[in-house]
Amino acid sequence: MLVHSAARRRWLWTAAAAVAAYALLTVAVEVTWPPLVEQDAAVSAAAHRLALEYPMWRAVMTAVTRTGDTVVLLSVLAFTLGFLLRRRMLVHLAFVCAAVAASATLRLVVHALVARDRPEGMLALAAGWSYPSGHTSHFATAALLLLVLVWPLLWARWQRIALVATVGGWAVLVGASRVALVVHWPSDVLGGWLVALAAVPFAFMTHAVWRNHSRP
């Protein structure tokens, strides 16, 4: 995972922008900034009406959201780590572990400090505080990790476009399903995406710097 300085700067700027946006959003949530609260309430109410009016939509969103369940993602993570370990791809293994740890830390610390209540009228089971969305951050982190690991193996442009569309689109759908089922506010989901956009580039950039400087 040798990365040139120009690429490292892009990763750094991506991580920095995501961290800054995450910090601003967190402050807005913590102080209950009226425009954010009003927008969250309006979208959540509309999502509740839509899910009750169209049961098929609710069923689809329930199926989508289950792909981001902890059991599913832990199984995928265990398989990935086992595969990398068996292939002795220790550099990639360390990167995945660092990214997952960074994502979990960014989410759990803010999750405990903000302690935001979930919306009323939830249409699916959910426990714990609301901000940021765990389903969203976990799945988005997994999607970005998959993108980083698989991208170098694809040479055709259409393959890379298909990869981005598939993993990126599904990560967006999982986040959207949390709002559709009224278990998270829209800003919770945005916070989850920002966690992944901060954690994975930061882990990739710092790991690449360490690798480059440790080479003989």
Which tens digit of pLDDT belongs to each residue from 67-78?
988 889 899 889
Handedness of CA 126, 128, 129, 134 (dihedral sign): negative
pLDDT digits (tens, 9 = 90+) for 140-169: 999 999 998 888 888 899 999 999 999 999
- Is the pLDDT at 209 greater than 80, yes or no? no
pLDDT of res. 208: 66
Token pair for residue 71?
Answer: 């059991």
For residue 177, count other CB atoms closer than 10 A to its CB.
Answer: 26
Round to whole Å and give the CA distance between 106 and 169: 23
76: three-class secondary structure by DSSP: helix
pLDDT digits (tens, 9 = 90+) for 195-205: 999 999 988 88
pLDDT of res. 66: 93
Which residues have C-beta within 8 Å of that of residue 10, sequence separation ≥ 6? none
Token pair for residue 114?
Answer: 């903000």
Mean pLDDT of 96-115: 94
C-alpha count within 13 angstroms, C-beta hemisphere, residue 166 = 10
Supply the DSSP symbol for 158.
H
pLDDT of res. 104: 94
For residue 180, count other CB atoms closer than 10 A to its CB.
Answer: 25
Question: In Å, how far are 12, 92, 163, 164 from 97, measured between CA atoms?
Answer: 19, 9, 22, 22
Question: In Å, how far are 14, 148, 215 from 111, measured between CA atoms?
Answer: 22, 27, 38
pLDDT of res. 113: 95
pTM of this structure = 0.90
Question: In Å, how far are 33, 38, 194 from 119, measured between CA atoms?
Answer: 16, 13, 21
Token pair for residue 170?
Answer: 């599904």
Q: Which helix (H) or strand (E) holds 12?
A: helix 5-30
DSSP of 99-123, one letter per residue?
A: HHHHHHHHHHHHHHHH-PPPPSS-S
Between 214 and 127, residue with greater pLDDT: 127
Question: In Å, how far are 3, 90, 92 from 85, measured between CA atoms?
Answer: 22, 6, 9
